[in-house]
Structure 1
Amino acid sequence: MAAADFFEITIQGKGGHGSSPHTSIDPIVVGSHLANQLQTLISRTKNPMQAGVLTISTFQAGSEANNVIPDTAYLKGTVRTFEPTLRSLLEEKIKTMAEHICAAYDATCTVTYTKGYPAVYNHPAETEVIKTVFTDKFGAETVETTPLRMGGEDFAYYLEKKPGSFFFVNSGNAEKGIVYPHHHPKFDIDERALLMGGKAFLTIAEHYLAAQTETAIKHKTAIEAAAE
């Protein structure tokens, strides 16, 4: 799961009448150029071998009047990356591009960039343990490796402190029509997935408890052997 950052850009222009655009600084035109040019950070600044997404989710300007050029325009969006260097680069470039494009049109802007969850890093040893115990318990056909996903996940903070692994439990069911993604108005889950999730965690706990017991027995045996 990717690092999930967010940005907000307020463009300050100069309002005026739609019939006299030369007397104003149109923030809609400025914002339109900025919205298009920000995409070049992904297509032309980012290394093609790196994963990264920049999405503008909001563009607001003007009112119900159809003959008024507004004072301001407002954009916000999200940036998703995996590599810290790219994450920092895109933050820097968004701010620089916004300032320079606005200056080219005699507008100004305020950029707020908020770093969200870091990228999820699954530790190899723990991931291999989970894969093995799930395969043994539930069968190889139920376990699969998923590709990188650009969604964010706060479990990343735990994995920065302790080795571990993040996994998904499938909650869809095509036969029941449960096929819609997150944020869709018809999103739902097959609640049997809750039971499977519980079984998954119990399987992990069982593995580690068995491993600790085996280690304790070996340690006790070694002490007894040394005492003899």
Structure 2
Amino acid sequence: MNPFKLLSLLLFVSVTTFAQSDNKLQDDINEIERQVIAWREYFHQHPELSNREFKTAEKIAEHLSSLGIEVQTEVAKTGVVGILKGHNSGKVVALRADIDALPVTERNNLAFKSEVKSKFLDTETGVMHACGHDTHIAILMGVAEVLSKHKDKINGTVKFIFQPAEEGPPPGEEGGAKLMIKEGVLKNPDVDAIFGLHINSATPVGTIRYKPGGTMAAVERFVINVQGKSTHGSAPWTGVDPILISAKIIDGLQTIISREAPLVQEAAVITVGKITSGVRFNIIPETAELIGTVRTLDPQMKEMIIRRMTEMTETIAKAYGGSATIEFQNNTSITYNDLALTEQMLPTLQNVAGADNVELVKATTGGEDFSYFQEKVPGFYFFLGGMTPGNTTPYPHHTPDFLIDNAGMLLGVQTMIQLSIDYLNAN
């Protein structure tokens, strides 16, 4: 045979085989949708609170094991990790889904509505997947099943991280991403990059939204303790009023945002959500306690704001004859999308969803503990549409009426699969 004809034939066979392989991958993605919906509805009917996701973890682990994926359980109490090695060696990419529900009593007419009851902080409450974590579990289980059938396309390793307690562990307990990292979830094999998604009730089905850099806020809880001097309310000059000092501190803290923070760079928020002081109308109390939150999207701004809050709290209290201390508790770091990784993976999002359906958005001051993974390895986190097209009044997350359209999940499955394949192929 003419060598040129032989070469042409080999190229034709190679391209045809590749195209058939790609078609098979897409067929498997399409076929998994019904099962993904069934999983989502199961988890929605059987929600479990943070660090108590025992049945959820058991079902996830059983599924991963059935696929021949190496499984680790009881990671960070109830977390599950699956490791899938491709036919070829290469880097390691991690995919994360959070698995916990919220102490919210569901208020809708879904056929798979949650009727689960539990106790949260000694209060009887319903339990509901009111933030979409049920869809995240189902999506990642679908991703695992499809990729397990296409190990020939994996040039490296995929690590599936099913993370408990994203909403925060119960008081006095460790949990969430921090504890998973502490227990070595990013090691053995060492993760090179991590991807995560969050379905959104106000984003139309078929749409993906993203932002390079700071995309969700660092969240700090702060407590200010003000020390005054108690006296009779009829003679305030004989004491030191901690309520007055508290008012001046609150006013001062807001000037940090309005007069010192470079808001053209990133947004920032200081909110005092609770004040406790006094027992009677005619007694100036001894102490006051202020509790609130700080939200920042830039590391330098965060450092400046916390430093100035400390200085201002102490100085204002002293100026009015009292004293005050402030303590900060870190709830999440900045969910920071690695700039190079975001740029690298943006074409994947556009190829999967269509360029017109991938939207660059502004940051949000909500928080997400996926941020702790991003502090250790480059990460990319994006938002997936879960709102029925045409809906003009979507219900917010963390509310009893929260709704997600099942039709939004297939795009999540396809996107996470393609992000994994494209990242590993490029690296």
TM-score range, shorter chain: 0.7 to 0.9
Q: Whose helix proportion is higher, 1 or 2?
A: 1
Displacement of 1:39 after TM fit?
0.5
1:147 and 2:380 are equivalent in the alignment: no
For the residues of structure 1 that align with 2:388 and 2:419, how far apart are their CA atoms? 25
Deviates more, 1:124-133 or 1:53-62: 124-133
Q: 1:18 and 1:189, CA in 2 relative to 1: closer, same or farther beyond 3 A? A: farther
1:6, 1:115 within 8 Å by CA — same for their partners in 2? Answer: yes
* Structure 2 residue runs without a partner (length 5+): 1-215
Displacement of 1:133 after TM fit?
1.8
What does residue 217 of structure 2 align with? 2
What does residue 131 of structure 1 align with? 346
1:76 and 2:283 are equivalent in the alignment: no
2:353, 2:411 within 8 Å by CA — same for their partners in 1? Answer: no
For the residues of structure 1 that align with 2:297 and 2:413, how far apart are their CA atoms? 29
Q: 1:172 and 1:160, CA in 2 relative to 1: closer, same or farther beyond 3 A? A: same
What does residue 277 of structure 2 align with? 61
What does residue 230 of structure 2 align with? 15
What does residue 377 of structure 2 align with? 162
- Show CA shifts across 1:37-67 (max 9, x none): 110111122234332222222222223x322
1:46 and 2:254 are equivalent in the alignment: no
Displacement of 1:36 after TM fit?
0.7
For the residues of structure 2 that align with 1:71 and 1:155, how far apart are their CA atoms? 41
For the residues of structure 1 that align with 2:238 and 2:388, how far apart are their CA atoms? 59
Displacement of 1:28 after TM fit?
1.0
1:89 and 2:326 are equivalent in the alignment: no
For the residues of structure 1 that align with 2:379 and 2:325, how far apart are their CA atoms? 39
What does residue 101 of structure 1 align with? 316
Instruction: Specify the code of the residue in structure 1 equivalent to 2:269.
Output: V
Q: 1:189 and 1:129, CA in 2 relative to 1: closer, same or farther beyond 3 A? A: same
Instruction: Specify the code of the residue in structure 1 equivalent to 2:328.
Output: Y
1:121 and 2:336 are equivalent in the alignment: yes
2:420 counterpart SS class: helix
Displacement of 1:79 after TM fit?
1.8
Displacement of 1:149 after TM fit?
2.0
Q: 1:137 and 1:86, CA in 2 relative to 1: closer, same or farther beyond 3 A? A: closer
Count of matched residue pairs: 211
For the residues of structure 2 that align with 1:163 and 1:98, how far apart are their CA atoms? 36
Alpha-carbon RMSD across the aligned residues, in angstroms, is 2.5
Displacement of 1:175 after TM fit?
5.1
Q: 1:208 and 1:98, CA in 2 relative to 1: closer, same or farther beyond 3 A? A: closer
Percentage of matched positions with identical amino acids? 36
1:178, 1:190 within 8 Å by CA — same for their partners in 2? Answer: no
Displacement of 1:126 after TM fit?
2.5
Q: Whose strand proportion is higher, 1 or 2?
A: 2
Q: 1:84 and 1:136, CA in 2 relative to 1: closer, same or farther beyond 3 A? A: closer
Instruction: Specify the code of the residue in structure 2 equivalent to 1:28.
Output: I
2:345, 2:423 within 8 Å by CA — same for their partners in 1? Answer: no
2:352, 2:414 within 8 Å by CA — same for their partners in 1? Answer: no
- Show CA shifts across 1:116-166 (max 9, x none): 432222223432343222222222232111112222222222223222311
Displacement of 1:34 after TM fit?
0.7
* Structure 1 residue runs without a partner (length 5+): 216-228
1:31 and 2:246 are equivalent in the alignment: yes
